[in-house]
Chains A and B, each alone.
Chain A
C-alpha cells in the first residue's frame, strides 16, 4: 500500500514536472491547453516509471525474498514522510495561489512555490537517503538511488522526442 502511495506522489510530481518543463517556453497568453498537454505528458512518463518500479518491487517480492520486500516498504514509508510533507506544502501553496486574494497568491509564490522548486533536488535526495538509511539491504538502496535519479532527471526525460514546447517560439 505504501508503495502505491509513493507511486501516487511520483505521478503528481510528474505532472508538475511537465508544467515546469513547459513553462517559459511559450510566450503566448492563453496557455492552459498547452500546460495541460505538458502536464499530461509528465503524468504519462511518470506512470511508465511507476509501473516499472512497482513491477520491479513485485519481482523482488516473488523472486527474491519477503525480507527485501519488507525492507522496501520500510524505505518507501520513510520516503513518503519526506515527499508527503513537501507535496502537502506545495499543494497548499498552489491552492492559496489559485484561490487566495491577490496579495496572498503572490505570497504563496514568494514563500513556497519558488523556493520549493529550487530545493526539490535536495528534497528528492534527502528522501532517498532517509529511506535507504532505514535498511541495510543493498537491493533497497539500489531502488532508492534509481528512484532519486529518475526524479531528478525527469524534466530532461520528458523533454525527449517532440514535447509540446517544441517550436513554440514566434
Chain B
C-alpha cells in the first residue's frame, strides 16, 4: 500500500460539495483508478459491491453503515471519546469565559460516534451545542436516529460544515485529516479559519513505522467488512507526518495558531497511536495551556 492510493470509501461515494447531491458512481471509473494504482486487493472488495455499470447506492450505504459501526467499536476501544474530551473540556471552559453559547461542529462525522459519546458522557451542559455534519444522508439519518433513541443532546445534518447558518466555535474531526492531501489539506484548515472558528481539534492516526502494522492487526482482529479492513490499513499508510500537519495548518489556517498533541516522534510509537491537531485563536493560547494542566506537557509549542 502507498500513501497516494485513494481509499475505496472515497471512490465508491460521490457527492457534489455545493448541492450535496449524490452523483452516480461508474464502476468502470473506480476500476480504472484502482488499476492505475495497482490496487488489486481493493478491486476484490469492489467486485463484491452490487449494481451493474453503476454501483448500487443502497448497497454502498449498507457497506458504509456496517463499516462505521465497526469503526466505532475501534474508536471505543481506543477511547477516542475520552481523548477528545480531555482536550475539549478545558477549551470549552476557556471559551465559556467570553461566550455564553458555544457550538462544536464535527466535520465528516459519519454515524456521529464521537459527538454521541461526548453527549452521553461529557456532561457539557445546555450551553454547548453539538452538531455533526456529513455529506452522506444515510449515515446522518442513522446518527440522528441513534441520538434520538438514546436521548443524546446532539444533532446531525447533511451539510457542508463550513457553510452552516452559524459558524462553529470549535471544529472537531476524527479520522478525517488523512483523507485530504496536498492543497486539499491546506483548504481544510483554511476553510475552518475562514468560517470563524476559534479553535479546532482534529484527531487522526499518528504516522509512524508501526502504524500500518498496528492497523493491519486491529483491522484483521476487529473488523469483518472487507472495505473497512482495506481502508483501515490504508488510512494508517496515508496518515500525515507531523511536519505535514503543522505546515499545512500553519500556512493555511491563519489567524489561528497550531500545534500537535502527542505529535512528538517516539522511539516506541505504540505508546502513542493517535495525535491531535490543536488550533486556537492567539488570545486563547495561554489560558488554554494553563487549563490543560499536566496534559500541556504533551503539546508542542504553538506556531
Contacts and interface: CB of A to CB of B under 8 A. Distances in A.
Interface string A74-107: 0000000000000000000000000000110111
Given A24-B73, A28-B146, A29-B120, A118 B273 contact: no
B69 A27 contact: yes
Interface string A20-50: 0001111111100000000000000000000
Contacts, number: 72
Q: Is the interface of B mostly helix, strand, loop or mixed?
A: helix
B270 A29 contact: no
Contacts of A170: 65, 141-142, 145-146, 149
Given A27-B142, A29-B120, A110 B214 contact: yes
Contacts of B86: 102
A102 B246 CA distance: 26
Contacts of A24: 69-70, 72-74, 222-224
A114 B218 contact: yes
Contacts of B120: 29-30
Contacts of A133: none
Q: Is the interface of A mostly helix, strand, loop or mixed?
A: helix
A117 interface: yes
Interface residues of B, number: 37
Contact of B217 (A25, A106, A118): A118
A115 B113 CA distance: 24
B66 interface: yes
Contacts of B181: none
A113 B77 CA distance: 10
Contacts of A106: 78-79, 273
Nearest to B146: A170
A94 to B, nearest CB: 12
Contacts of B68: 27
B82 interface: yes
Interface string B68-101: 1110111001110011001000000000000000
Interface in A98-152: 102-103, 105-107, 109-111, 113-115, 117-118
A105 B222 CA distance: 17
Contacts of B224: 24
A40 B66 CA distance: 24
B79 A102 contact: yes
B217 A115 contact: yes
B270 A107 contact: yes
A160 interface: no
A1 interface: no
Interface string B32-67: 000000000000000000000000000000000110
Interface string B138-163: 00011001100110100000000000
Interface of B: 65-66, 68-70, 72-74, 77-79, 82-83, 86, 111, 113, 116-117, 120, 141-142, 145-146, 149-150, 152, 214, 217-218, 220-224, 270-271, 273
Given A30-B150, A115-B217, 18 more contacts: A24-B70, A24-B72, A24-B73, A24-B74, A26-B69, A27-B111, A27-B146, A29-B120, A29-B146, A29-B150, A102-B79, A106-B273, A107-B271, A110-B270, A114-B214, A118-B220, A170-B65, A170-B141
